[in-house]
Amino acid sequence: MLGVIVVLCLVIPIVWPDSPDSLVAAPYQAPSLRHPFGTDSVGRDVFVRTFAGGRIDLIVAAVVVGASLAIGTLLGTLSGASRHRAVDTFLMRLVDAVIAFPFVILILVLVVLIGPDRKIGPMPAGLPATVIAFLLVGWAYYARLARAQTLALRQSDFVVAARILGYSQPRIIVRHLAPGVARVTAAYAVGDAILAVVVIASLAFLGAGVQPPTPEWGNIMYEGRAFIATAWWITVAPGVLLAVTGVALSLVADALLSGSRADP
Amino acid sequence: MTEDVVPIALDEPTAPARRGSSASRWGRRLASGLGQALVVSYVVVTVSYLMVRLVPGDPAQAVLGARATPQAVAALRHEMHIDRPLLAGYVDYLGGLLRGDLGDSIVQSDQTVSGIVDRTLPVTLELIFATMLLSVCVGVPLGLLLALKQGRAVDHAFRVALVVLLATPPFFLGLLLIVAFSLHWTLLPAGGWAGTWPANLRYLILPAVAMSAFLMPQIGRTVRQVAIDVSQQDFIEATMARGMSTRTVMVRHVMPNSLLPVITLLGLNMGALIAGAVVVEAVFGLPGIGSELVESVGQRDYPVIQGIAIVSALFVVFSNAAADALYTLADPRTRRS
């Protein structure tokens, strides 16, 4: 299911005759064969915009979750394996504090501080600030999880054996602890991707996030909100796709979690 | 395990003899929880301060835009107290916070941030409370029902429905509810706020339903799981053997045990609830911290945004501590150990 959504988001903007940004028909046209999701307030095709928007949402979610996973797992494992109590305590109190902030609010603060209009390279306006904000916050959840897992693994026989064999601390962390920790955090990451997609889309409702005219699920829905009584399809199409993506991701996450539990 | 579980249902109302010692233990746990909450609060405040100073980019420049003159930027930097050395600014900032001073709004020039929070936070808390009430009132009975019908068609159908509900973002559900109940059937207002009780209730229903979409399924799933686990314990079998009806067993023995994780769940979800409330308020135009945030983001009024972030984080920290304390109070097992 997830694969289908990803493929559709990749393929449809390429093969569909309309471009996401061009005005192709009269505004507010109801869904038809030619325009399966209708047209929006200025006459753009909602079908191609929805899938082009999905590209941004999915790519950004994958990038920020992947990076948070890598950074958080590394820091958490180091913190758990560290012999310096001070390092561990400092890092974990920082994690507590970052997690205490409601996620969306913290992201929003950071986006505003960084400057939502700032452009970096080819990324559309609003995206760089969103990505940076996610990276500054997202690692904390993985760090806490990775630390707990490291503490659990540290006492296990194979790690003790490796220590007795005289392997160096870095070698034990990289070769012995990290793989076991990463398995747990990776399963969590898939579930976290749902949250990432929802938060990226929510930002449009809060006046931040990816700026129009670049299509993105959140801002398509936000633009459609004003006309929801007469042209419901503008908002409902990306919303349903977002919900379907969420269900698909949670199925994957459930499968991974039950898999990792059965396999010690 | 069995011996641990039996007394909960029977002992709890009639255990005055142990009160003294368990109450003092509870007090100690409460104190240590509170101490931890204070440490985290301190770090929260420090993080909020450092965030403004260390994040890439100049906040004053971000507020004024790229075309602002250097003089205007310097003036705003002074007004925002970010031209001070890092440490001196930090001491000032902490001192202000201890006096309840969160700074002044840049845009609404006659308003303090704490005044704005005072005005908007109650609306958000009312929304969160309504959501919790609704989610518990629907989620707990649903979870118990599904546990009773475990493995049957009803169970499977509702579990799929709960996953779908969980995956639907609250703001999208909110929009759908507006279309159905406000525009199509014109039963409830699409947004706004009366400002007085009980008139507010009409404005609170749809947002609370939208927010429950993510809380209620979690409660339902947890209660179902715990109820199934508890039903397999020996003491339940014993009560069944004594000839109690299924309903009595459910209400008297299974339900009290299933409620404990719900307390933890509510505490853990406080941050997510505030975050959800922020977005849902923006959709329904409720005058809470969410709408205030959106306005402040639009105007780059960063002291207000920062103030709301701090207040909501502190609120989360202390509700987690409160949930922990409540859990200890409600579950005799945690007191005895």
- B72 has a chain A CB within 8 A of its CB: no
- A239 has a chain B CB within 8 A of its CB: yes
Name every residue whose Cβ is closer than 8 Å to that of residue A9 and which is 6 or more positions away in sequence.
Answer: A51, A52, A54, A55, A58
Residues in chain A with CB shorter than 8 Å from the CB of B313 are 97, 100-102, 105-106
Q: What is the mean pLDDT of chain A?
A: 82
Average pLDDT over residues A63-86: 87
Tokens of B304: 């207000």
Shortest alpha-carbon distance between residue A214 and chain B (Å): 19
pLDDT on residue B130: 93
The one-letter amino acid at A65: V
Could you list the pLDDT tens digit for every one of the 337 residues in chain B? 333 333 333 334 444 444 456 667 777 777 888 888 888 888 888 888 887 777 666 777 767 777 778 888 888 777 777 777 778 888 888 888 888 787 778 777 778 888 888 888 989 999 999 999 999 999 999 998 888 888 888 888 888 888 888 888 888 888 888 888 887 777 777 777 777 777 777 888 899 999 998 899 989 988 988 888 888 888 887 887 887 787 788 777 788 888 888 888 888 888 889 988 888 988 888 888 888 888 888 777 878 888 888 898 888 888 888 888 887 777 666 655 4
pLDDT on residue A152: 84
| Least trusted range by pLDDT, from A21-25, A140-144, A187-191, B265-269 | A21-25
- B47 has a chain A CB within 8 A of its CB: yes
Model confidence over A81-132: pLDDT tens digits? Answer: 877 788 888 888 888 888 888 888 888 888 877 776 666 666 777 788 888 8
- A221 has a chain B CB within 8 A of its CB: yes
Quick one: B253 exposed, middle or buried, by C-beta within 10 A (0-12, 13-18, 19+)?
A: buried
**Is the confidence at residue A213, as pLDDT, over 70?**
yes
Q: Residues 104..123 of A with a Cβ closer than 8 Å to B: which?
A: 104-106, 108-118
Choose among A101, A116, A242: nearest Cβ to B172: A242
CA angle B245, B246, B249 (to 5 degrees): 90
Q: Which residue has the higher pLDDT, A25 or A57?
A: A57
| ipTM, two decimals | 0.78
Name every residue whose Cβ is closer than 8 Å to that of residue B272 and which is 6 or more positions away in sequence.
Answer: A102, A103, B214
Four-CA torsion A20, A23, A28, A32, nearest 10 degrees: -70
Choose among B52, B166, B178: nearest Cβ to A113: B52
- B171 has a chain A CB within 8 A of its CB: yes
> What's the CA gap between B107 and B172, in Å, rounded?
31
pLDDT on residue B257: 80
> What's the CA gap between A251 and B221, in Å, rounded?
15
- B251 has a chain A CB within 8 A of its CB: no
Q: Name the residue among A199, A220, A213, A219 with its Cα closest to residue A108.
A: A199
Cβ of A103 within 8 Å of Cβ of B178? The answer is: no
Cβ of A98 within 8 Å of Cβ of B47? The answer is: yes
pLDDT on residue B336: 55
Q: Where are the domains of chain B?
A: 8-335
**Is the confidence at residue A255, as pLDDT, over 90?**
no
Give the number of other Cβ atoms within 10 Å of residue A117's Cβ.
13
Choose among B52, B166, B278: nearest Cβ to A105: B278
Quick one: A45 exposed, middle or buried, by C-beta within 10 A (0-12, 13-18, 19+)?
A: buried
Residues in chain A with CB shorter than 8 Å from the CB of B306 are 109
Q: Residues 4..23 of A with a Cβ closer than 8 Å to B: which?
A: none
Distance of alpha carbon B22 from the chain centroid: 29
Average pLDDT over residues A240-264: 74
**Residue B254 contacts residue B230 (beta carbons within 8 Å):** yes
Number of H helices, E strands in chain B: 16, 0
**Is the confidence at residue A15, as pLDDT, over 90?**
no
CATH number of B8-335: 1.10.3720.10
Cβ of B62 within 8 Å of Cβ of A115? The answer is: yes
Residue A126: φ, ψ to 5°: 95, -25
Cβ of A93 within 8 Å of Cβ of B283? The answer is: no
Residues in chain A with CB shorter than 8 Å from the CB of B169 are 198, 201-202, 239, 242-243, 246
- B43 has a chain A CB within 8 A of its CB: yes
Q: Which residue has the tokens 């009806």?
A: B245
Choose among A112, A118, A232: nearest Cβ to B297: A112
Q: Residues 8..27 of B with a Cβ closer than 8 Å to A: which?
A: none
**Residue B292 contacts residue A118 (beta carbons within 8 Å):** no
Name every residue whose Cβ is closer than 8 Å to that of residue B219 and which is 6 or more positions away in sequence.
Answer: B135, B136, B139, B140, B143, B262, B265
